[in-house]
Amino acid sequence: MHYKDSSKTARAIAVVAFLLYLAVLLRLTVVRDSLFDGVGGRHYTATLKLWDSYGWFLRTGQVIQFRYLLLGNFFCLTPFGFACGYFRKDCNLFFAALVCFGATLFIELCQLILSVGYFELDDIIINAIGGIFGYAVHLLIYRITEKIKHGKL
């Protein structure tokens, strides 16, 4: 499931795009302004109760914030899952899920350790599902392009 026909230029563009995505992802999730504001002693928590923040947004009528949180967490690692399939020739669903789970666990732990966010189990689950979705999109695109290339579509 590797794009063997990709030119070196296309591969280089893909690498640069992925690195930019990683920079934006880390800026939004870990390297926040609060990391550098000089205010010490912040205490952020680890929320181990599933769907706690989502439920709170719904209970308080903050539907827009609920959707923002849900969709933001879902699509946060979608490009990561896509990249697993694009850059790794022998990638499969299990590998992509494992990499996406590891990436989101890394982000959540960084947020907790650096006191720039909350460690939430539901974020890990939704991010990983979004990453798996990205891998599925990659598979779909790959299969369609293979059918087109072989004249079967």
pLDDT value of position 1: 45
Cα distance between residue 74 and residue 122, in whole Å: 11
Tokens of 128: 């990983």
For residue 144, tell me if it sits in a domain.
yes
Whole domain around residue 69: which residue ranges? 8-149
State the pTM of this model: 0.84
Per residue of the chain (153 residues), give pLDDT as tens: 455 556 889 889 999 999 999 999 999 998 877 666 655 545 567 777 888 888 888 899 988 988 998 999 999 999 999 999 999 988 999 999 999 999 999 999 998 888 888 888 999 999 999 999 999 999 999 999 889 988 887
For residue 3, tell me if it sits in a domain.
no
Q: Which residues of 15-37 are buried (b: 16+ CB within 10 A; e: fewer)?
A: eeebeeeeeebeeebbebeeeee
Number of structural domains in the chain: 1
Are 111 and 119 a contacting pair, CB within 8 Å? yes
Cα distance between residue 118 and residue 43, in whole Å: 9
pLDDT value of position 73: 93
